[in-house]
Amino acid sequence: MKQDKNVETSPLISYETLLTQFKQLLRSEGQKFTKQREVILHTLYNHSGHFTPEELYRLIKQENPELSTGIATIYRTLSLLERAGIVTSISFGTQGKKYELGVKAHHDHIICTKCGKILEFFDEAIEKKQERIAKEFGFEMEDHSLKIFGICPECQKKTDK
């Protein structure tokens, strides 16, 4: 089974194209394009990974100390971007969500239930099996996601002590 662990999932479209889409989305929602919203999008585009709104807030503050961005703006903007499919999220139930840019090459996730670490991977055999299953049930697959939950090696070591 060919498997690419920790795949590099760079955005599939240019930042300029994404920014244009974002501006159109804001107009269609009757909202204003602001520097704060642009910085949120830019930060997500330029940083691979999965972020809680609070982690994104801290990263933006660190990189743009002069910019006044409130946590509520981050929550509202992430919600808008998620509804539009520009970002996707992984829910951790009562612990909240982690967000990532949604315009990247398809990948799946393996998630540590102890520390919250998220790794991305792609496995061609899994992809083919999902397509076959959808076909067997008469479905025309539009999208899919796979999340594997477990305990990462680092957390296993901590519990072994």
Q: What is the pLDDT of residues 67-99, one digit of tens each?
A: 998 999 999 999 999 998 899 888 877 778 889
Contacts 24+ apart (CB under 8 A), 102-107: 103/11, 103/12, 103/13, 103/18, 104/9, 104/10, 104/11, 104/12, 105/7, 105/9, 105/10, 105/12, 107/7, 107/9
Residues carrying CATH 1.10.10.10, the chain = 12-104
CATH entry, 105-161, from 1.10.10.60, 3.40.605.10, 3.40.50.150, 3.30.1490.190:
3.30.1490.190
Note if the pTM is more than 0.85. no
CATH class of 12-104: mainly alpha
Residues carrying CATH 3.30.1490.190, the chain = 105-161
Range 109-124 average pLDDT: 86
